[in-house]
Structures are given as structure tokens and as C-alpha cells.
Structure 1
């Protein structure tokens, strides 16, 4: 995997041994928003020293690298920028996480934020405090959508936009890598590649990673006080995108179950489970539509159930294959 990583910028006189916290930030063709994300990191009210690794995932265009270079060259942001030459979000995460482990020997906590998100000023402190207070290995936190257009009024209660948990405390598992803390010991135990690159363009590499972490006995927590605000373009409130996301979420659950339990008898059990979910989905969807006063939102449970069943026959939508449509 090292051959797929090129370190392009390092802050002058960076002392790699000083940093307890390393924030990893993948980017792909969002240079303007990347700068907003980095500004939110520069504004952190953090007692702990932290460094930032930006993972540029467009090896040809390198717009993110060009936009962020000055912040690192002047040491306004301590850390480095690398190019992850293999395309895909899992490949970008892997490049950043491997580099963090190799370059920062004092790192205890690795944090992740995406290039369409803005961190609250106490984001780092709240995540680390929660990990230490709850004595857990991984901590997730809310990704609050900031909709363009009228999406806020129409889709704020859609399951794809609502946080998985409401209160700070231990939780059974996490689902998203867009706002998370991971202890160094977790990465060392799981080993590279941390995210399976088979999920590069499907999504779900983070869910698969968390599933493997749980199998190894690692524990999870939630920090309601460490939100990031995620810019949500109007495209993501169109029916085609919402439908594709629901189908994809169903497919991911089927794929992960198949990877954990892949025998012939297991397949029959999965098919039976998928069929049962499909049979129940019209009733669940009707309830969701009633609760949210939105027929479009209500379709989500049916979309997930259909996506699960389609995945059993190899029909999976690669929603991230065409980034301009995402």
C-alpha cells in the first residue's frame, strides 16, 4: 500500500513525536469546502496537541492539495498532505491511517472528518473526553446536515440524514466514518488495509470495519456534544439520490452479513431474513410516512429491503462511482 501514497507537503520543522491526536481528512474535488473544514480545525479550542493529515484522492487534478498547501507550508495547520493514488474513499482513509501510525509515534487517538464538514470549536476535546470518560475504543458523533435549498424543511427527518443515536454514552456499534475517534490500539490490532477497498465505490467500508472491530472485542461510544455540520447539496434531496442511498444501505447490510457468515445454510438464512424484511417493509414504510408526513421518506424501509434482496443476486449500485452525481 505504501507505493500508492506520496507525501507532498509537510509543515516546516514538524515534530512528529509531539502529537497525541491526529486528524485525518480525505478530500476529492472540493477545494473550497476543504479550506472551510481546515479553518474549523485551525479554530479548535483544544488542550491536546493535534496534527492534520489531508489525503488528496484526485491524483490528477490535485485541487485540494493546491488549495491547502499554503496552510501547511506556513504551519498554520501542523501536519502533512499526501496523495492517495488509488481512487476511492476506502483507499484514501487507508492511506491516511497508515501514514498516521507510521509517522506519529505518540499518537493515541486518530480522528476523522470529511471535506464537506465543519467541526464545532470543541470537537476534538469532546471526542477525546468521551473516549476517556466512557473507556471505549471508538467514539462516533453527529453529522448534522446543512441543506441547500428547501431540503431542511422536507427531508431533515429522513433516516439517511438523522444521527444514529441521541445521547452520549456507550453504544453497540457505529455506522459512519465521517465523524469518529479511533484509538491507536484499534488500528494496530485490525491491521492494514483497515477499510476493505471492495467498498470503495459502494460505500459501507466503515460499517464493515466496525463490524470487524466488534468481533475483536472493541467497544463503542457516542458523543452528542461533538457534532460536525455537513454541507448537503440539493442533489442529495432528489428522489433518485435518496432511492439509490436506500437501496445501497440495504445492499451493504447483506454484503457484510455474507462476509461474516458465507456458507450455503447462511445464505438461506439471509434470503429468509431479506424476504421477511421485504414483507414487513410496506407496513414499516407506511408508519414512517405517517410519522414524518412524507411519502418519500416513508419509502426508505422498502428501499432498504429491496436493496438487501438485490444484493443477494449481485445487483449492487456503486453510488460513489460517479462523484458528480453524488
Structure 2
């Protein structure tokens, strides 16, 4: 996909970095410090990257953190709860003449070359979106079981066109998808998560092309309570719930529950077969082997009316 016809060149002046945060000021400070240290082109008119921070807490709790660690950033308080609402607020704050936005999470931090690598890759390939690896950094050290079991983040893909969907933890997107085509995050996913996979799936169906490069590797802080197999399994179950929401929206009708149930059962069976085969060959069972089981369970339990709410707040529970 090099030099996609009609793709415009992206500059650092035309690029905005979007961050949504919720009561994680220490981690946000780490991210802001890394953004402040990003290297800009020698001929840039900017002294710091252009950043928009959306604080989704009930009160503007991150204002001081932003002022102290990256005072040039645009700080917005979005009290309406939900991850999609926060992401859409960040998009609405981007100038209409912007060329690209970069999504990054508040528990991550970046190396100095990251921004230039993002923009250079987008310009060289003409891709609609550029993404790359996110390396987990464990607060209490990497657990011993992880060496064989694996983790959520996949670090290695072939350099080049990316047939899967990116995520909002490390992705540049040409802003025309939002300014001209009107793409936004679906607020149906406000409290479940999965809003980013839904957006990138819709973009892909509309013709968007994605590119993967290892040159934009960044780092994600993993706290102790997420460094467990139980948390990974819960995240996989949530993935099944989100998948159910997508199917119901895309294929409305009376037979949809049967399709969801059938797909869930198939995933359970596929996982069971993978695990059995690994055990027979005396090979380690990995997270990927178990993922399909818990995703299938998430789909089945969604049909039974059980919701997977990851981004709910005590002050605003979903109806």
C-alpha cells in the first residue's frame, strides 16, 4: 500500500494526540512527561506536541496534573460518563483542518521518536491508520506463569498492511474519517468497552486500509490486579459480550439469538479441542487456547441477560 493515491501528507502541526483519562493521575503524569520529551522536527513551529486530554471523572480531577506536566495541552472535562462519550468529546475538540489524530491511553508512555515514526509511516504508506506494538511493563515484575501462558498484547506482526483492526491504545488515524465522513465512537459501548474495535471495523468495511510497524512501539503500565490469569479470562469474556452487541446491531432479527448461541458453542468447542491437543502433546496451554472458551462463555451469558460492564461509574450506572 505504499503511496496510496490521493493521500495527503501529514505534518506534526496537523496532528493531535488524544487522551481520555479517569482517576489515574499518577499514570497520566507519566504519559504527559513522555509526550513533553517527544522529539519534534527541527523545522517545526511547535515547541511541544498538540495534545487534548479529556477527563471523564465526575469532577475535573486531572486539571492540575495536566497543568504541571504538560501545560500546553488542551484540557477538557467531560462529566458525561462513558468511554465513547469521552473519546467523542476529544474528537469534537480537534480543529476541522487537522490532518491526523493519534489515540493513546492514559496508562501508557512513549519513546522520544514515537510521534515522528507515526507520521513518517503514514506518509510513506498512505495508510488510513497506522498502529504498532504496546509492550506491557508490570508494576510488580513479570509473573513467572506469563512466559508460557502469554498476554493480551501481541507484539509481533509482519511489517506492512494490517488485515486486523487496530485499537485506540496506539493508533494514528487520518482525520478525514472524522471530519468528512463523520465517524464517531458508538455510545452503545460506553460502559462495556469495545468501542474502538467497533469503530475500526466500520472503517474497514468502508474501505480503510491499515498498516502495522514495529517502529511505533510504546509501553503500557500493568498493575498487579491485572497481572493475573483471572483478569485475562474476565477480559476475554467481556470480548464475547461485546461481540454479541455487535452482532445484534449488525444483524437484527429473530434468528440472531440462535446465531449468537451457535457461535458461542463453536468457540467453546474450538477452545476445548485446542486445550486437549496441547495436553496430549505435553505442550503448555496458552492464553490464546483459553481465550476462545471465555469469549464463547461471554456470548452465551450475554444471551442470558448478564452484562459485562467495565467502564461503569458509581455515580452513573447504565440502565
**TM (normalized to structure 1)?**
0.82
1:212 is matched with 202
1:118 is matched with 109
CA–CA distance in 1 between the matches of 2:156 and 2:55? 31
2:246 is matched with 256
CA–CA distance in 1 between the matches of 2:25 and 2:247? 36
- The Cα of 1:322 is off from its aligned counterpart by 5.9
The gaps in structure 2 that reach 5 residues or longer are 1-11, 315-319
1:26 is matched with 20
Q: Helix, strand or coil: the match of 1:172?
A: coil
1:79 is matched with 73
2:154 is matched with 163
CA–CA distance in 1 between the matches of 2:133 and 2:142? 18
Alignment partner of 1:247 is 2:241: no
1:5-84 paired onto structure 2 within 5 Å:
19-47=13-41, 49=46, 50-60=49-59, 62-73=60-71, 78-84=72-78
Alignment partner of 1:321 is 2:312: yes
2:185 is matched with 195
Alignment partner of 1:148 is 2:135: no
Q: Residues 72 and 116 (structure 1 numbering): CA distance in 2 closer, same or farther, change over 3 Å?
A: closer
Q: Residues 114 and 59 (structure 1 numbering): CA distance in 2 closer, same or farther, change over 3 Å?
A: same
How many residue pairs are counted as aligned between the two chains?
298
Asked if structure 1 preserves the Cα contact closer than 8 Å seen for 2:131 and 2:171, the reply is yes
- The Cα of 1:174 is off from its aligned counterpart by 1.7
Asked if structure 1 preserves the Cα contact closer than 8 Å seen for 2:275 and 2:285, the reply is no
**TM (normalized to structure 2)?**
0.84
Which of 249, 254, 268 is residue 258 of structure 2 equivalent to? 268
Moved more, 280-289 or 238-247: 280-289
Asked if structure 2 preserves the Cα contact closer than 8 Å seen for 1:138 and 1:180, the reply is yes
Q: Helix, strand or coil: the match of 1:153?
A: coil
Which structure 1 residue ranges, 4+ long, deviate > 6 Å from structure 2?
A: 288-292
Asked if structure 1 preserves the Cα contact closer than 8 Å seen for 2:36 and 2:70, the reply is no
CA–CA distance in 2 between the matches of 1:127 and 1:115? 18
Asked if structure 2 preserves the Cα contact closer than 8 Å seen for 1:157 and 1:292, the reply is no
Q: Residues 99 and 268 (structure 1 numbering): CA distance in 2 closer, same or farther, change over 3 Å?
A: same
CA–CA distance in 2 between the matches of 1:38 and 1:229? 13
CA–CA distance in 1 between the matches of 2:283 and 2:173? 34
CA–CA distance in 1 between the matches of 2:213 and 2:276? 31
Q: Residues 295 and 162 (structure 1 numbering): CA distance in 2 closer, same or farther, change over 3 Å?
A: closer
CA–CA distance in 2 between the matches of 1:182 and 1:64? 26
Moved more, 133-142 or 292-301: 292-301
RMSD value, Cα: 2.7
Asked if structure 2 preserves the Cα contact closer than 8 Å seen for 1:190 and 1:213, the reply is no
Moved more, 123-132 or 224-233: 123-132
Q: Helix, strand or coil: the match of 1:167?
A: coil
Q: Helix, strand or coil: the match of 1:63?
A: coil
The gaps in structure 1 that reach 5 residues or longer are 1-17
Q: Helix, strand or coil: the match of 2:308?
A: coil
- The Cα of 1:298 is off from its aligned counterpart by 4.5
Asked if structure 1 preserves the Cα contact closer than 8 Å seen for 2:52 and 2:90, the reply is yes
Moved more, 235-244 or 86-95: 235-244
Q: Residues 239 and 152 (structure 1 numbering): CA distance in 2 closer, same or farther, change over 3 Å?
A: closer
Asked if structure 2 preserves the Cα contact closer than 8 Å seen for 1:72 and 1:80, the reply is no
Higher helix share: 1
